[in-house]
Amino acid sequence: MDAIDRSLVELLRGNARLSYAELARQVGLSAPAVHERVGKLESSGVIRAYRAEVEPEAIGLGVTALIGIVEDSGGDTDDVLETFRQMPEIESCYFMAGVESFLLKARVGTIAELEQLIVRLSRTPGVASTRTGIALSTKWENRPQPIDPPAS
């Protein structure tokens, strides 16, 4: 993870479809060298995936909600997690410090679907309560932040 790797990561966070030749030009190496570096970044887990970012409304997911989950004292956290994992509407799942063990970001098409999702969440064993906030608009999301050279 030297300065060149950091540049590559930053370039690919900005545009995942850059060609190796273009990356090579930007960082001042040859294309095969860049190819090898990117391969290593992928297999070492630094780069996890390349994703197209899609306007959610365009694919029928106009409603975004953030849902806090309070666990039952008796519940098994892993089971709860597994249940959440089965619900495709839950795009992100954070295990949190605080009273609410989980914070979920969910996207659905309509408020009715959100209602159904919340009901399902409330009913899952191990869930004591839920608290839902609706996003009226998304100002920005997953904006990549510039990489500043770490202490190492």
Partner DNA sequence: ACCCTCCGTGGACGCGATCGACCGGAGCCT
Partner DNA sequence: AGGCTCCGGTCGATCGCGTCCACGGAGGGT
Any residues with CB less than 8 A from the CB of 118 and at least 6 apart, and which?
67, 130, 132
Contact status: 39 vs a copy of itself (CB under 8 A): no
Tell which residue, 30, 38, 32, 36, has the closest CA to residue 7. Answer: 38
Q: 48, 12 in Cβ contact below 8 A?
A: no
Taken as a whole, the chain contains a residue count of 152
Q: Considering the complex, what minimum distance in angstroms separates the CB of residue 147 from DNA?
A: 18
Distance separating alpha carbons of residues 29 and 23, to the nearest angstrom: 8
Which region, judged by CB under 7 A, interacts with DNA, from 29-37, 42-50, 69-77, 136-144? 29-37
Inter-residue contact 128 to 71 (CB < 8 Å):
yes
Any contact of residue 4 with DNA (CB under 7 A)?
yes
**Under rule CB under 8 A, residue 86 binds a copy of itself:** no
- Window of 22-30, 47-55, 122-130 that interacts with a copy of itself by CB under 8 A: 47-55
Residue 144 near a copy of itself by CB under 8 A: yes
Q: From 122, 123, 124, 131, select the one nearest 99 (Cα to Cα).
A: 131
Question: Which among 23-31, 117-125, 129-137 is the span making contact with a copy of itself, rule CB under 8 A?
Answer: 129-137
By CB under 8 A, is residue 4 in contact with a copy of itself?
A: no
Taking CB within 5 to 8 Å according to partner kind, which of a copy of itself, DNA, none is near residue 22?
DNA
- DSSP 3-state assignment of 46? coil
Identify the residue among 9, 20, 124, 127 touching DNA (CB under 7 A): 20
Tokens representing 73?
């004292």
As a whole number of Å, the CA-based R_g of the chain is 20
The DSSP element (H or E) to which 29 belongs, if any, is none
Binding site for DNA (CB under 7 A): 4, 19-22, 28-33, 35-37
Applying CB under 8 A, the residues found at the interface with a copy of itself are 1, 6, 9, 12-17, 45-55, 58-61, 64, 66, 81, 84-85, 88-98, 100, 102-103, 107, 109, 133-148, 150-151
